[in-house]
Amino acid sequence: MDRSAGKVILLVDMNAFFISCEMSVNPGLKGRPAAVAGDPKSRTGIILAANYEARAFGVKTAMLVHEALSLCPGLILIPPTRGLYEKKSKEFMEILARYTPVLQKNSIDEAWLDLTGCEKLFGEPVSIAQRIMREIQYELDLWCSIGISENKFLAKMASEMKKPLGITELWKKDVPVKMWPLEIRQMYGIGSRTEERLKKIGILTIGDLAHCDDGLLSEALGKYGRELKRLANGIDESPVEPEPKSVTRSISRSTTLVRDITDMDEARTVLLSLAEEVGEEARRSDFRGKSVQIVIRYNDFTTITRQKTITPSYLTRDIYRTGVELLGEHWDRRRPIRLLGIGISNIDDDIPVQLSIFDINEELPDRVKKEEKLERAIDSIRSRFGSDVVKRATLIDK
């Protein structure tokens, strides 16, 4: 196979991570059904991770403790050990860093590696994957699954195909046979809400999405729909990006409303659906926001953002409730809203309100477009030189 022009990307995903960490420090658990539970003593505690012995009884992540116990009465329940998973995650990342500095953590238990050009040094991708898997097993006493492809999306999809201890290649040429028959909810990046919307327009498999009519898709999901279609066709150009230290991180969603909103109940409904999407992504990437921001754009295009510090959270409820508080405090009720947004970020002090985390795509008057251009230019300066070099607020004031 000629891959000389193509990239080689691996996604390494730790299997049943929390409970496996517990088993590595408490070998007595090995071979017995066990799970980490949020609150093991309470019947309504939640299973956070079950080992494969417990999964054989049907115990699953997010199941209530009493449900899990009724399926598997001998199940050993363990509360989460503070600090253990972070420590193991760091050791895991250190092993990966032996192979390349081009390494991107996707969550506490998985990361992408760009190994393009590393074959000469370490051998074929599959043998590099075998080596990584062995080192993780012997040095950390943990299991992983590895996906190999030419881009991040396919590598992630591949890593899900065989668990535990699977090494799976999924190159673009394999997409029609290996990926298109999968149900749409098995596609990385599709949450339950998107799944529902896609099913409504008759898309049941990833193949259906790959072949879906652009107009129909845009109607159902906007720009995001086209992006998903590209992924379903195995196209993903996003690079593996090593995480820069202490950079503003945020997750946000905004929407231009079909008609201007003047009613609080209506505004709350919109905020809730956006907060659900933010929460979903935050939990998927294990990112707890230290503050919640909202953006309000009035029908004359003036835009305000307001934020509030919270106890770090990625729960939809916390995001939504804080958003509603902010809306109540800052919405000038005489003015109709044409766009609403909500997001979380890791900023936790009182940052000037000009610092917006929202990436708003909308047809704007030229004046606003200019402002956005300026903001984006400042963003890129900030990301290159650190946030103290350029004070966005002072620049905007000039």
Which positions are annotated as active-site residues?
110
Q: How far apart are CA 261 and CA 350, in angstroms?
A: 29
Q: Nearer Cβ to Mg ion, position 13 or 22?
A: 13
Q: At what angle do helices 84-96 and 125-140 cross, to 10 degrees?
A: 140
Q: Nearer Cβ to Mg ion, position 91 or 329?
A: 91
Q: Name the minimum Å distance from CB 160 to Mg ion.
A: 9
Q: Quick one: tokens of 198?
A: 């896609």
Q: Name the minimum Å distance from CB 271 to Mg ion.
A: 29
Q: Name the minimum Å distance from CB 8 to Mg ion.
A: 20
Other Cβ atoms closer than 10 A to 305: 22
Q: Which of 195, 273, 189 is nearest to 231 (CA)?
A: 189
Q: Quick one: tokens of 303?
A: 């835009």
Q: Nearer Cβ to Mg ion, position 197 or 284?
A: 284
Other Cβ atoms closer than 10 A to 129: 24
Q: How far apart are CA 362 and CA 299, in angstroms?
A: 13
Q: Nearer Cβ to Mg ion, position 146 or 295?
A: 146
Q: How far apart are CA 146 and CA 155, in angstroms?
A: 8
Q: Name the minimum Å distance from CB 110 to Mg ion.
A: 4
Q: Nearer Cβ to Mg ion, position 109 or 169?
A: 109
Q: How far apart are CA 14 and CA 354, in angstroms?
A: 40
Residue 97 DSSP class: T
Q: Nearer Cβ to Mg ion, position 145 or 252?
A: 145
Q: Name the minimum Å distance from CB 98 to Mg ion.
A: 21
Type of residue numbered 289 = G
Residue pair 242/101 in contact (Cβ under 8 Å)? The answer is yes
| Angle, CA 377 vertex, CA 297 and CA 386 arms, to 5° | 105
Q: Nearer Cβ to Mg ion, position 50 or 270?
A: 50
Q: Which residue is nearest to Mg ion (CB)?
A: 110
Other Cβ atoms closer than 10 A to 77: 19
Q: Name the minimum Å distance from CB 20 to Mg ion.
A: 12
Q: How far apart are CA 208 and CA 372, in angstroms?
A: 37
Q: Name the minimum Å distance from CB 144 to Mg ion.
A: 9
235 class by beta-carbon count within 10 Å (0-12 exposed, 13-18 middle, 19+ buried): middle
Residues at the interface with Mg ion (CB under 5 A): 13, 109-110
**Integer CA distances (angstroms), 381 to 171, 245, 373, 388, in order:** 36, 16, 12, 10
CA dihedral 386, 387, 388, 393 (to 10 degrees): 150
312 cis-preceded (ω within 30 degrees of 0): no
